[in-house]
Amino acid sequence: MTIEYVDAGEAIDHSALSAVTGTAPAVTDNINYDRLLNARSESQNWLTYYGAYDGQRYSLLDQINTENVSKISPAWIFQAGQSGQIAGASTYAFETCPVIVDGVMYVTGWDGWFWALDAVSGQELWRYKHAVPFDVSLCCGNVNRGCAVANGKVYFVTPNAQLLALDATNGKKVWQKTIGDVRAGESASIAPTVIKDFLITGSAGGEFGVRGHIDAWDLETGEQRWRTYTVPKPGEPGSETWPADGEAWARGGANHWVTGTYDPETNLYYAGTGNPAPDFDGEVRPGDNLYTDSVVALDVDSGEIKWHYQFTPHDLWDYDSTMEMTLFERDGKKLLGHFDKNGYFFVLDRTNGELQHVTPFVDRIDWGVITRDGKVTPRKYPDKEGEPVHFYPGPAGAKEWTHAAYSPKTEMFYVPVADVGATATRRRREFKESMPYWGAAVQVDIDDMAGSVSAFDTHGEEKWRWRIDYPMAASVLATAGDLVFAGTPTGEFVALDSRTGEKLWEFQCGSGHHGSCSTYSVDGKQYVVVPVGWGGWLEGIIPGMLGAGHGSALIAFALPS
């Protein structure tokens, strides 16, 4: 056994935990920027987090379609391990999105796990385990959302804010970098994005009063190329939206903890940012609080913010805007679509951030009103300590972090909707480093909730709605087979007709869904793979959900041979 002790602030990495059990084909050796630019054209693979840089979560595969989807069944199941309670209030959840390259699947898990699998059989090729200290400060679960692949390596982050590059053939560590300050409450869960010869990551930890940032790292060496803070310091553009005195800006949040999208024609990376800190106490941070709850468009070569749009100015409701910024075109215009936690669907011109229109996508919204031209009228928030306020949507949002899909074939978006409220009770607390910095106690309405997969056209008109009794909390997938795949909290994995919303197929997976499915093909046979394993901060707020404390798994579905 060999043990490598690294610098304070990093993990102690027990390299024996790599547990290399075999080797994988060298399929990532020729994954380069050109192939990633054209990822959708090779839909037999799922080369990036969203399947392509545009974030559409759309596949050209159509072997599985509306005519035959009722015949699909499990092709294999990989038991990833145990989910459930860990380390204080944090829980495991299987929130990943599998990446597939020429028959090899790369999957990240909670608590520093990484697996390489045979995508036809589900057989494990190798595994890696990064040792994560038990005392890492985590707001909302010990989770990871995915990896990136390029140049013979796979890249992923860990809860204790490490970025690792592994040899894709055997899982051996190539390099490791610290990307956040765990002592201050920073962590990481984002799936990195490879662009050109570097990759982009973001920080997590807004609930601990950290200052969010987005970073670029050299693919080969791990050296930092640039860092862009998402809360401006005094004197920088946007700093006028924070108090002129004090250090509210230095603990302002705005973390980028979900993967952004990229347009090579504009050379812009579109990053969503999280809530301000403290979440529910706006009196200590008067002003709009840029760039919280925003999309920031960054020049990928320099990290310079070229434009921004703020979805919830001076947020008092924990409405992160980290979710996907889906790139699409309409009438010759380059546009960006975003379903926000605040309950509104925004369409922007992605070249300059100019608002096109806003429409609500959930029935119950009472925190404030946004008109179609973008004017925001917020509701008054209680001033007194201990005074409760009930609001819709709750802090999980009208849509959680999990992702919508867009089909250029139907020209419709498919969004996983959560219709649930909450009560926040003012609890002002002084800032203390690495301690929770919420500003309120929050209770979710566990007896009054609903959800759906809803379809909207690009103008914001709802076309259909498939309803369930609980909030949707997993990403959806659209395919050229006119299908939409979605997983429910109660364990069902369903296929819907993308044009009508009719349920065509269902399989009970034995645990709730809180991750991102993907699709691929090997030797001409299409598979749909879904991570299953309930948990994260949602565990316990929805009574009777399957999977709390149960095993997590990957399940691949296919037509019979």
Residues noted as catalytic = 318
Residue type for position 273: T
Tell me the two tokens of residue 102: 């020429």
Contact 471, 478 (CB under 8 A): no
Contact 210, 436 (CB under 8 A): no
Q: Which of 123, 269, 118 is CA-nearest to residue 192? A: 269
Contact 181, 166 (CB under 8 A): no
Is the Cα dihedral 486, 519, 531, 457 positive or negative?
Answer: negative
Q: What is the spatial distance between Cα 294 and Cα 273, in angstroms, rounded to a whole number?
A: 5
Contact 147, 98 (CB under 8 A): no
Q: Which of 325, 257, 253 is CA-nearest to residue 282? A: 253
Tell me the two tokens of residue 328: 């699409």
Sequence-separated (6 or more) residues with CB below 8 Å from residue 276: 206, 252, 253, 254, 282, 285, 289, 292, 293, 314, 315
- Kindly calculate the radius of gyration of the chain based on its CA atoms and give it in whole angstroms: 22
DSSP label of 536:
G
Q: What is the spatial distance between Cα 37 and Cα 459, in angstroms, rounded to a whole number?
A: 27
Tell me the two tokens of residue 324: 């996907």
Contact 166, 151 (CB under 8 A): no
Is the Cα dihedral 61, 62, 66, 68 positive or negative?
Answer: negative
Q: Which of 258, 257, 20, 5 is CA-nearest to residue 131? A: 5
